[in-house]
């Protein structure tokens, strides 16, 4: 066993009571397909492959990222050199896109679930999807029907595990009664702590893990800004108007806090999540090998209890994580 493999086993985190063991940071690939502006496809492939070489085992994608582009990219990156056997591929499905990139609703009917899975398997170039999950709750389809369709795919050998994304406690319980759920994907960061109140306690009760996206609040915590009209952050409340101005002041304070501890702002944001939720798995949206290296360094720079208290006292962010219309449709935000 190599040193790297030994470290990976020592640090492994299990996804729920029935899921696989994974490295404590996952790689989110959405940003490699244009959601945050222009990308370099060759660098994206090299970044995924570098992550695998560094021990990362969980890759997160969605069939609607770049209208299939992201799955094709991930498929290219994991092909050959035994890489497929070293990773768990998590796929979200259900969002409907138009040829112009528009968003046209959501479909989680059982027939659609199986159709989406067939196309994902082909684009990824794999025989089985490790974790398959609806990206959102379809209000027109009982969650039992959607999860039942994924359970059929598990029985047929096309899917290994079932996950959820952005749903609330009632939906989690209903889904888990149909088939064991290994993890819920939910946004969580210094700027988005709502899951702590009800969702995380319910997951712990049920033996379900969580994969945490938006750990850098879509780059906000690292000082990143929207890069043109193709960058969808330009439409998010935290990046616009008075919220943007107030949040820039908070980010400046966080940058000074990080510098005082020899850390980058990104490392600080990741280290905070690792300290607050050590049993859960942050998913990091690194688009380049340099960003990947920066993120992985957070594993070796833990924060103390005093650091957490001081950091949280600074984190007075303004604005919701999505626009008002999207927030109304998020099952995870219903109270």
Q: How far apart are CA 150 and CA 268, in angstroms?
A: 37
Helix axes 169-178, 143-155, angle to 10 degrees: 40
CB 221 within 8 A of CB 269: yes
- What is residue 83's predicted lDDT score, i.e. its pLDDT? 97
- What is residue 226's predicted lDDT score, i.e. its pLDDT? 64
- What is residue 159's predicted lDDT score, i.e. its pLDDT? 98
Residue 194, classed as helix, strand or coil, is: helix
**What are the b/e assignments for 287-297, b being 16+ CB within 10 Å?**
bbbebbebbbe
- What is residue 1's predicted lDDT score, i.e. its pLDDT? 33
- Using alpha carbons, select from 35, 12, 30, 31 the residue that is nearest to residue 22: 12
Residue 109, classed as helix, strand or coil, is: coil
User: What's the Rg (C-alpha) of the chain?
Assistant: 19
- What is residue 216's predicted lDDT score, i.e. its pLDDT? 86
Residue 209, classed as helix, strand or coil, is: strand
Mind listing the pLDDT tens digit of every residue in the chain (335 residues)? 333 433 333 478 999 999 999 999 999 999 999 776 678 999 999 999 999 999 999 999 999 999 999 999 999 999 998 999 999 999 999 999 999 888 899 999 999 999 999 999 999 999 999 999 999 999 999 999 999 999 999 999 999 999 999 999 999 999 999 999 999 999 999 888 999 999 999 999 999 999 999 998 876 777 666 666 666 676 677 776 777 778 777 888 888 999 999 999 899 999 999 999 999 999 999 999 999 999 999 999 999 999 999 999 888 776 677 766 676 677 887 76
The domain in which residue 228 lies consists of 3-333
Annotation says 65 is catalytic: yes
Query: Quick count: other Cβ atoms within 10 Å of Cβ 205?
Result: 11
Number of separate domains in the chain = 1
CATH of the domain at 252: 3.20.20.100
Looking at the DSSP assignment, which residues form a beta bridge with residue 161?
131
Task: Given the residues 36, 65, 213, 322, select the one marked as catalytic.
Answer: 65
pTM: 0.89
């Amino acid at each position: 066993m190599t040193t790297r493999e030994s470290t990976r086993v020592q640090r492994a985190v299990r996804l729920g009571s029935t899921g696989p063991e994974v490295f404590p940071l996952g790689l989110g690939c959405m940003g490699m397909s244009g959601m945050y502006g222009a990308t370099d496809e060759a660098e994206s492939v090299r970044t995924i492959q570098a992550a695998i070489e560094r021990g990362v085992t969980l890759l997160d994608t969605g069939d609607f990222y770049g209208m299939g582009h992201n799955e094709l990219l991930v498929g290219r990156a994991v092909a050959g050199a035994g890489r497929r056997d070293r990773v768990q591929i998590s796929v979200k499905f259900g969002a409907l896109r138009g040829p112009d990139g528009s968003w046209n609703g959501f479909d989680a009917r059982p027939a659609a679930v199986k159709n989406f899975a067939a196309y994902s398997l082909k684009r990824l170039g794999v025989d089985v999807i490790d974790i398959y999950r609806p990206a959102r709750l379809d209000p027109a389809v009982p969650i039992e029907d959607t999860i039942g369709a994924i359970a059929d795919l598990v029985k047929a050998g096309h899917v290994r595990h079932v996950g959820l994304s952005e749903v609330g406690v009632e939906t989690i319980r209903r889904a888990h009664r149909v088939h064991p759920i290994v993890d819920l994907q939910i946004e969580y960061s210094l700027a988005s702590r709502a899951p702590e109140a009800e969702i995380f306690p319910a997951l712990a009760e049920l033996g379900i893990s969580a994969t945490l996206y938006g750990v850098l609040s879509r780059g906000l915590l690292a000082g990143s800004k929207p890069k043109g009209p193709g960058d969808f952050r330009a439409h998010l409340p935290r990046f616009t108007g008075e919220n943007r101005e107030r949040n820039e002041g908070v980010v400046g304070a966080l940058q000074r806090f990080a510098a005082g501890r020899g850390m980058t702002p990104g490392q600080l944001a990741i280290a905070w999540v690792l300290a607050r939720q050590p049993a859960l798995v942050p998913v990091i949206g690194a688009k380049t090998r340099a960003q990947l290296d920066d993120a992985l360094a957070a594993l070796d720079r833990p924060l103390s209890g005093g650091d957490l208290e001081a950091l949280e006292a600074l984190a007075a962010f303004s604005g919701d994580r999505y626009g008002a219309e999207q927030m109304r449709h998020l099952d995870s935000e219903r109270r």
